[in-house]
Amino acid sequence: LTQHSAAETSGGVGEKPDVLSQDLGMEGEKSPAEDQMRMKWESLHQEFSTKQKLLQNVLEQEQEQVLYSRPNRLLSGVPLYKGDGETQDKSAVTSLLDGLNQSFEEVSSQGGGTKRQSIHLEQKLYDGVSATSTWLDDVEERLFVTTALLPEETETCLFNQETLAKDIKEMSEEMDKNKNLFSQAFPENGDNRDVIEDTLGCLLGRLSLLDSVVNQRCHQMKERLQQILNFQNDLKVLFTSLADNKYIILQKLANVFEQPVAEQIEAIQQAEDGLKELDAGIIELKRRGDKLQIEQPSMQELSKLQDMYDELMMTIGSRRTGLNQNLALKSQYERALQDLADLLETGREKM
């Protein structure tokens, strides 16, 4: 027993310096896990920096394009950064970031954690940041690479864009919160603090760029919807105006039917002059419809309005043609009577 106890004692005394030396070594040197995390953060920062620059280039070139009537929102020859093709669901990313927030808050409430806890927390932060970036890849894919917006889809697309704007804002707030919690939980002299802050800065910058472009598109779509509404209202006004003018003109032409030709011609001239403003309104509405690329039903209504206008003008023109023919016949009749009178006068003189 004495020998066994002595052996345990000597063994225990021999182990303590080794453990202490390992702890001292951990303090003075980086562990393989720390080196690995450093490399992962540096690689992620380079990737984020590339994505942010590509996004800025695409946005600069997109300013020269129109939101509608182009086959593709992304200019050819300007590819966005594509990762491994995976997509990330927003709810999964949000859940991951919520868990990260809780972990940060727990460490902060304890006044900081051990080195092992720090590495574990750093890995969770890395996973959350990577997942957020993957979600943004899918957002960019939908924003810049998908088929261009068709005019008749504006209202539906506006709803989707407003939803996306809320998602981006929520994600930005989550990442900003995590960035602040990271600053509180990690020591200022931490080995990877600088590259982590730079990486988070790139991600927040990318979120900010996408937030601005989505909000700009929402504004453009709202303007377009208002223009479409104005177009439809003006179309209704022209329909009403044409119907009123048609009734008044036909009534007036009927009233002067038995009147002298001069009065009838004057009434026709007044009717034609009164329709000039309506004609200008239809032409302007066509121009606006072509520019807005109004959907087919509204353009069919505009064509119907044009047909009604043309029909009324044909009625007025037919009335004018009839009067002109009557005037021509009257003139011929008067000339014939005059010729007959001259002939009779000549006959009397000869007799």
What's the confidence (pLDDT) of residue 64?
61
pLDDT at 190: 67
- Residue 101's pLDDT is 82
What integer pLDDT is reported at residue 105 of this predicted model?
A: 80
Q: Which of 273, 302, 276 is nearest to 287 (CA)?
A: 302
pLDDT along the chain (351 residues), means of 10: 36 38 44 82 93 86 58 37 55 84 79 67 90 90 65 77 91 90 76 88 93 89 89 94 91 80 82 89 93 85 93 86 70 75 78 73
* Interval 6-36: pLDDT, tens: 344 344 434 333 333 344 344 445 677 778 8
Confidence at residue 84, expressed as pLDDT on a 0 to 100 scale: 46
What is the C-alpha separation between 46 and 134, in angstroms, rounded?
15
Residue 8 confidence (pLDDT)? 40
The radius of gyration of the chain's CA atoms, rounded to the nearest angstrom, is 42
CB 324 within 8 A of CB 269: no
Angstrom distance (rounded) from CA 67 to CA 75: 12
DSSP lists the bridge partners of residue 68 as: 149
Q: What is the pLDDT of residue 78?
A: 36
pLDDT at 257: 75
Name every residue whose Cβ is closer than 8 Å to that of residue 234 and which is 6 or more positions away in sequence.
281, 285
Tell me if 225 sits within 8 A of 155, measured CB to CB. Answer: yes
Contact 223, 187 (CB under 8 A): no
DSSP string, 106-153: HHHHTTS--HHHHHHHHHHHHHHHHHHHHHHHHHHIIIIISBPBPGGG
pTM of whole model > 0.85? no
